[in-house]
Structure 1
């Protein structure tokens, strides 16, 4: 896994998060699931994961917590764990499953 920060050390993201681990929930907005992802150690990494997962068609909202690696994903329907896992892995991080 390569470093998620740029060579000049710059990192930024517009995402904030306070996800709670636990069971998947269904709301009017969709279904929410919390996943664990290894390697999210900075605001830059947080932004990379949020942008990658947030770019999936079914994703309505994504929140990423630095340090804990909790990624809260809300989808319009049933979440596709395999697609989310491959997207996270392609972004350079290690998807470890549902929290």
Structure 2
């Protein structure tokens, strides 16, 4: 017969609060391959943006070299980045504070 295991001292208080949710950004970068009309169409169909918003984001990508197209939880932005890659766009995820 084996002796029962000793239980740890339960008098310590444990902080179980969740870490604060920090926003992350999805950045789409300019590339020499995709047409501007295609980039705007991807923004409209995938994100559901209006034609005006999709065009403004596409022009930011074209003229500034990149644009922040979405902000939210890291996991969601990583899913969006993968989707952008599947559409053939260059995209990265970064902390919003950067």
TM-score by shorter chain over 0.5: no
Q: Report the structure number with the largest CA radius of gyration.
A: 2
Which TM-score applies when normalising by structure 2?
0.42
Q: Please identify which structure carries the higher strand content.
A: 1
TM-score of the pair, normalised by structure 1: 0.41
Structure having greater relative contact order (Cα 8 Å, sep ≥ 6): 2
Say which structure is richer in helix: 2
